[in-house]
Amino acid sequence: MMREKIPTDYEKIFHPQKVAIVGVSTEGQAVFNFGSSILKAIKAMGFAGQILPVNPKGGVFAGLHVYKSVEDIPDGLDFAVIAVASRFVPEVLEACRKKGAAAAEIVSSGFSEIGTKEGADLEQQIKEIAAKGIRVIGPNCFGVYCPKSGLTFAPGPDLSRESGSVAFLSQSGGMSVDFAHVGKWMGIRFSKIVSFGNGVDLRETELLHYLACDPETKVIVMYVEGIGDGEDFFRAIKSAARQKPVVVFKGGLSSAGQRAVASHTASMGGNRVIWQSVLRQVNAVAVQDMEEMAQVSLALALLPAKTYKAISVIGGGGALGVNACDTAESFGIEIPLFPAALQEQIGSFLPKPGSSTTNPVDVGNPFVPPRALKEVLSLAAKDSRVDLQIIISLLHHYKVNAGVLGKTVQEVAPYEELAQVLREVKQATGKPIIVVLPNLKRGIDDLDVAEMLSLARKEFVEHGLPVYDEFHHAIRAIGHVNKYYEVKGAKNE
């Protein structure tokens, strides 16, 4: 299904100047409506181009003139968002094509995924119109999110306006919105996300080709339920993964999952063993759930492109150190024993008894001040074997101090100073630092801790430090990074 005749104008898809939104409410209608909601969201994102709302009743919506039809729009169109009932979609799409739109996203559902002949027929009509010269994203999707231009998903979730280096392709609209939400607080910033739902036209294979060459995209992430053409896809992902990491979350590997896929995006799932083997062959990063997908995306986006074979672990609590070693070993990552002289130097900054300097470094208690941690991390980086440092910061324990001092946990937890110090050490040593920031106090009595940790995470993220809830999440992510760059390095040799 690769179209050779008219080259796809991706610039008009991701950075359109003139966007029609077909299916907005007319002023005064209180009912929730996808089209209106998207329009408001795109405006709120600060989209700089022209927004052209369409509704047969005309009028004014959100301060904009509403055209009674696509035909009524003067001049041309770059892109269209179609949010009308499924039976009206073909005629609207055809009108957009005639108006010169390079592409349209169809957020409406009610096509092949509902399993009726009517739905399948409507989908067939869309395919035929697309073949005449308009690229279609969808139907049954949430469309395009491009923070740089200001395009955003249906129905208009509150997403980040910051642009970044991670691209995401997803058959699932829910997964697109979820990942965008999670990325927002985890510090994953997106170049673009495309939710393509039933994927009748523009879908994973072509988008992979595009993203492999997109200079704004450093990491490609995909949620796949089924694929259009297996061989084309194989070539595309193989070629993309040679250039940059491609993370794949494959849904529908079980028999029940395949059944669920059929009623979700009307795709064929595919066998678990075949998928695993294909993903391994092409050196894709295979993940099992959205948490893992987000965690590895963060590491691939923020860590320099290399392997991290040995690490230092600086943290509070003996058991945390013990478990850190076990987890690291099971991912083939070493936590080398520090030389005696280095241990002695590190020990001079830590309380005794209760601390341990072997690596992992047990700092003895959660209240060791950032300036001492700075010395410890600077010293640990001197071990030439250490490629990366992980600090386990138990800031939630400051709640006890806050109580004793009659202050708030936000006032006493030194996360600002810690973030500053960690950035300084990272810059001075050239070795990345990951922060593990668990929250064991998530009850209703500890909302102040949740708030402080949200602020702390934001601070760390703004200082360019990846943050994970748990040590084993960080290690698994580094394990993926290592595997990808190891194989890539071997192939390029």
Binding segment (CB under 8 A) for a second copy, from list 72-80, 227-235, 353-361, 369-377: 353-361
Which residue is it, tokens 């997908």?
A: 293
**Could you tell me the smallest distance in angstroms from the CB atom of residue 251 to a second copy?**
4
Residue (77 or 84) nearer to a second copy, CB = 84
Residue (214 or 362) nearer to a second copy, CB = 362
Amino acid at 27: E
**Buried residues in 410-422 as b, exposed as e (16+ CB within 10 A):** bebbbbeebbebb
Scanning residues 214 to 243, which ones bind a second copy (CB under 8 A)?
Answer: 223, 225
103, 175, 212, 373: which one binds a second copy (CB under 8 A):
175
Question: Cα separation of 94 and 343, whole Å?
Answer: 72
* Torsions phi, psi for 320 (to 5 deg): -60, -40
Number of Cβ atoms within 10 Å of the Cβ of 480: 22
C-beta separation of 169 from 221 below 8 A: yes
Question: Cα separation of 160 and 146, whole Å?
Answer: 10
Binding status of residue 360 toward a second copy by CB under 8 A? yes
| Per-residue interface string for the shown chain with a second copy, residues 65-94, x marking contact by CB under 8 A | ---------------------x--------
181, 238, 242, 385: which one binds a second copy (CB under 8 A):
181
Scanning residues 257 to 296, which ones bind a second copy (CB under 8 A)?
Answer: 257-261, 263-265, 288-291
279, 328, 388, 402: which one binds a second copy (CB under 8 A):
328
**Could you tell me the smallest distance in angstroms from the CB atom of residue 205 to a second copy?**
20
Binding status of residue 316 toward a second copy by CB under 8 A? yes
C-beta separation of 194 from 169 below 8 A: yes
**Could you tell me the smallest distance in angstroms from the CB atom of residue 291 to a second copy?**
6
Scanning residues 105 to 124, which ones bind a second copy (CB under 8 A)?
Answer: 109-110, 113-114
Distances, alpha carbon 138 to alpha carbons 105, 142, 206, 278, 284, in Å: 6, 8, 14, 26, 25
Distances, alpha carbon 384 to alpha carbons 72, 262, 356, 361, 379, in Å: 68, 53, 20, 16, 11
**Could you tell me the smallest distance in angstroms from the CB atom of residue 73 to a second copy?**
29
Instruction: Take residue 262 and report the two structure tokens written for it.
Output: 């059929």
**Could you tell me the smallest distance in angstroms from the CB atom of residue 366 to a second copy?**
9
C-beta separation of 314 from 380 below 8 A: yes
Determine the 3-state secondary structure of 132 from DSSP. coil
Binding status of residue 321 toward a second copy by CB under 8 A? yes
**Could you tell me the smallest distance in angstroms from the CB atom of residue 194 to a second copy?**
15
